[in-house]
Structure 1
């Protein structure tokens, strides 16, 4: 039976619990054990240009008569915050992300994305998570983070998701857990755990002792449960909030500080076709939550480990530059990526840029992609982990690496 079928069988036996297994791999790449990488995927395609705002552009205000943010104005609390002469930051990020910019620990990469032109959420999410050349035949059992884990030899990867995401397929066995449900007591007791382990006694797959791996997975599950239960009890005394991604990000920070060093988390709710809002409204609420979550992650992981941590915030594509008739935006192409970390050369807009005008729009409707995400992340990996061209070619086959000197 293939390994992924075994996973499905165990997941069914676990009554819906996320599968948690750990492989016994040693670190193969110098510095991998001390470095941490977190990828935050904003599913639904966030409207980047109403978050990192091209505020000096008359075209931006003409294209968005009801949802554009106003021009910077210190006297107006709804006005965006100047980053440089061309770009501004949404005011909902004043307390969370602006301090990271001022500390030069975050950079934004506009005109970033993939060459997938489908404008389909699922198609483009798949393209990004696979990290393969879209002109070639796709292998849906091989995601770029799974290949990265295999190249690094990292024994401490984790996905903070209900199901193992496409990006983590194909490498070593990866634990996954949905933090939204992780504080509930596991429904598999010790007796059931032993029964499941016994099902695979003496069986091996790709050199892995399945009984041992499953036992390690349940042990990881119990460790995470104990950690989160303690935090939830603290929340009952008013120490921290127990709601939303903000709390989840703090959990992730603590778990990555103490146990894991390569992680993925996705955040939904960014498909803003109707009543998107500007300085206030639906998008503003979500982006404020995201900013506070990232600030909480930074605080939780601690200053020492933050120096060795890189966070990449990405989305499947951007949105139309012009607002639609429902005071929202539709599926677009180019986006704006975030790169933050204690050693990031931030406080700047990185990568190739062009002046915003009707003529520069991709197909007359959305931002073009000038920085391919594979080259962007590949350049970060080369600097953070010292990966060779051959190793980068395994993670992102056929991609041209782009060193934006962000690390």
Structure 2
């Protein structure tokens, strides 16, 4: 397999390698007001979304061997280039890619190298090196770099019962909780299912029940995701509204039954992006969407036709302001000798650098200043530039 295309773009964009050191159940929102025309939406996939079945390295022969029944073939997927393809559920994101409004950064991760959701999400959102060492979020700190709003101060608003860690900090945030009450999310249901695994009869009944639940919930989840995209756009599209938003997308911890759960989750995510784009109207031309997760999943499948907590994953940069139509990857390979700790996709791209570059170029602020402000615990963070039209 040739990595020439991806590696060339990787180096061109300044994505420094770590060098080894380094379903949408019910989304929540947070918004921030700033005096700028650029719109930015951050989507966090909570639960460790699987990058390998989302942006598929079909040309790497180790992928199909390791994934077995979970592997998605080149003929099923939406081909992007000679190495990668999109999951067939990501139809709208695929269209954005074709029109040059979407780029994917593969084998990406924060500095976190363990496999706890709580710690991984805290580090990813706080911008720290270790869990809970920083009590504010990088997105809140970014507000200090933006021009003062029309009435003299930044005015973040969270459409959530609680403020996500990424937006917590010195800049005040008000909140609004949608009235819809979500059902139990997939992560919770998965953990219950694990309790039944030692009893063959109970486990069989549980699997039947959850399969029925997934079939009934699939369309509802997709509709909810689409409506949440429209709701986010209804705030960000306004001339007198917020410019920065955050969406929490849950249900990505696919320990069991990954194939169907990923279909549901990715369809929901795709619908959310499509509805958000439609709702933004002509403001989409000045919009950036960043989608990322706390870590990836193992290359090998487990005994319950799922995958376990891993390391590297994929991030998406979407929008009318994006210099897209590319998959950026210094692809490490999926052979056993190429994996991180002999089990995970090895990270070769820095999520922090990606965030700094996208925000810096997107809002017209020197990217290295953004990197230093957002990620003070890692002063050598190198901002990734070239993914946003300036």
**8 Å contact kept, 1:53–1:90:** yes
User: Counterpart of 2:382 in 1: which secondary structure?
Assistant: coil
Structure 1 runs, 4 residues or longer, greater than 6 Å off: none
Map of 1:72-221 to 2, 5 A cutoff?
Answer: 72=75, 79-94=76-91, 96-134=92-130, 138-140=133-135, 142-152=136-146, 153=148, 155-179=154-178, 181=180
1:108 & 1:88 partners in 2: Cα distance? 11
2:93 & 2:334 partners in 1: Cα distance? 24
In the alignment, does 2:262 pair up with 1:283? yes
Map of 1:283-322 to 2, 5 A cutoff?
Answer: 283-302=262-281, 304-322=282-300
Shift of 1:93: 1.6
Shift of 1:387: 2.1
Structure 1 unpaired stretches of 5+: 1-17, 73-78, 183-240
Shift of 1:134: 2.9
**8 Å contact kept, 1:332–1:367:** yes
**8 Å contact kept, 1:156–1:261:** no
In the alignment, does 2:251 pair up with 1:269? yes
2:267 & 2:386 partners in 1: Cα distance? 28
Shift of 1:121: 0.2
Residue matched to 1:45 = 48
Count of aligned pairs between the two proteins: 312
Residue matched to 2:357 = 379
Distance verdict in 2 for CA 1:82–1:130, change over 3 Å = same
Distance verdict in 2 for CA 1:166–1:33, change over 3 Å = same
Residue matched to 1:357 = 335
The one of 51, 60, 65 equivalent to 1:62 is 65
Q: Which has the larger radius of gyration?
A: 1
1:399 & 1:147 partners in 2: Cα distance? 18
Q: Which moved more, 1:383-392 or 1:108-117?
A: 383-392
**8 Å contact kept, 1:353–1:370:** yes
**8 Å contact kept, 1:380–1:403:** yes
Residue matched to 1:71 = 74
User: Counterpart of 1:40 in 2: which secondary structure?
Assistant: strand
Structure 2 unpaired stretches of 5+: 1-27, 182-220
User: Counterpart of 2:337 in 1: which secondary structure?
Assistant: helix
Residue matched to 2:242 = 260
State the TM-score, normalizing by the size of structure 2: 0.75
Shift of 1:286: 1.2
Deviation string 1:295-353 (CA, Å, 9 cap, x unpaired) is 11000011x21111110001110000111111100000011000001021111012432
1:367 & 1:179 partners in 2: Cα distance? 37
State the TM-score, normalizing by the size of structure 1: 0.72
